[in-house]
Amino acid sequence: MIKIEAIVREDKLDEVIQALTDIEINGISVSQVMGHGVQKGYTELVRGQEVIVNLVPKIKFEIVVSSEEWEKKTIEAIQKSAYTGEVGDGKIFSYDLRSVLRIRTLDKDYDALN
């Protein structure tokens, strides 16, 4: 089992969800997060004064898939739908999971994903 985490621009939320739905990814968690990467935030003019915003709002997706085949499909769908070509498009991380447990039924691992 593989967990995929993707951090993308806020305005790409609907596009990424649609791309994941199109490839039949059913289980996702979505969170609003703040952070910065290379761009280190931005400067904004507020009431005539410059304000440095160090943390940029982003969307974080968390998805667990059952195989490397699904990992590849999922990452490709996220990358294509979140891409703008500009700094700040985000990052995608994937890593192996040791176990999964469905609390209600006590199903484990692959059975807990279905």
Residue-level pLDDT at 94:
98
CB pairs under 8 A, 24+ apart, for 23-26?
Answer: 23/73, 23/74, 23/77, 25/63, 25/65, 25/70, 25/74, 25/77
Residue-level pLDDT at 36:
81
Q: Can you list the domains of the chain with their CATH numbers?
A: 2-113 (3.30.70.120)
Q: Yes or no: say if 21 and 83 are a contact pair by the CB < 8 Å rule.
A: no
Q: Yes or no: say if 90 and 35 are a contact pair by the CB < 8 Å rule.
A: no
Residue-level pLDDT at 98:
94
Q: What is the pLDDT of residues 82-103, one digit of tens each?
A: 999 998 899 999 999 999 999 9
Q: Which two tokens stand for residue 25?
A: 């990814």
Q: What is the pLDDT of residues 17-61, one digit of tens each?
A: 999 999 999 899 999 999 887 777 677 777 888 877 788 899 999
Q: Between these two residues, 113 and 1, which has the higher pLDDT value?
A: 1
Residue-level pLDDT at 41:
67
Collapsed DSSP state (helix, strand, coil) of residue 39? coil
For the segment 50-74, the average pLDDT, to the nearest whole number, is 92
